[in-house]
Amino acid sequence: MAFWLAAAVAASTAVSFMGSLNQSRQLRAAAKADKTIAEVKKIQETIAANERAALILSEKRAAQGARGIAMGTGSSLLEQQSAVDDHEDNMYWIGKSFEYELNMIDFRLAGALAKESYNRNVNLITGAASAYALYKAPPIGKKSSTTLSKLKIMQNTSLGSSTNFGSFGYG
């Protein structure tokens, strides 16, 4: 009987272990999807920034033409350079935002994988110990003399006595 209980615990532990490995694969897949979404977002922001910059430069050229000044010289050149500088700043921050988002995805993934690995290892050790204890346990209904003697020894020690728990702050 103890063998079958131990086998059931071992099988349960194996299923839990395999589920944990699958969970780790799912976490990696989710992080990859998040990175793809971040990349698409960066592309969209870049396109929008380029369109805004083209529109601003076009408006500046139209305004310069309407004023009848020489384009690309003097203050008109400074206006155009200012628009280009603003566009370059926008592109820099779009790139930085993308980089930070990828780092955050990596950090969250690393934390989730570490937690999953820890839980997987704890479950594996606990399951193995439980299976071993069940396998070595005496059959149900029979009392082992070694088990009874261990219980009596524990009752005589300070940890086994209910009167001494107060000294450890438990009650």
**Long-range contacts: 79-85, Cβ < 8 Å, 24+?**
83/53, 83/56, 83/57, 84/53, 84/57
Please give the backbone phi and psi of residue 143, each rounded to the nearest 5 degrees, phi first. Answer: -105, 125
Q: What is d(CA 128, CA 134) in angstroms, rounded to the nearest whole number? A: 10
Q: What is d(CA 5, CA 134) in angstroms, rounded to the nearest whole number? A: 7
Q: What's the rounded mean pLDDT across residues 89-103? A: 96
Q: How crowded is residue 161: how many other Cβ atoms within 10 Å of its Cβ? A: 11
Burial (0-12, 13-18, 19+ Cβ within 10 Å), 131: buried
Longest dimension (CA), the chain: 110
Q: Three-class SS string for 95-120?
A: HHHHHHHHHHHHHHHHHHHHHHHHHH
Q: What is d(CA 145, CA 28) in angstroms, rounded to the nearest whole number? A: 52
Q: What is the pLDDT of residue 147?
A: 52
pTM of this prediction? 0.63
Residue 44 one-letter amino acid:
Q
Q: What is the pLDDT of residue 79?
A: 82
* pLDDT surpasses 60 at 170: no
| pLDDT tens per residue across span 22-64 | 999 999 999 999 999 999 999 999 999 999 999 998 888 888 7
Angle between helices 2-67 and 74-136 (to 10 degrees): 180
Residue matched to tokens 């500088």: 85
Q: What is the pLDDT of residue 162?
A: 45
Residue 20 one-letter amino acid:
S
Q: What's the rounded mean pLDDT across residues 73-93? A: 86
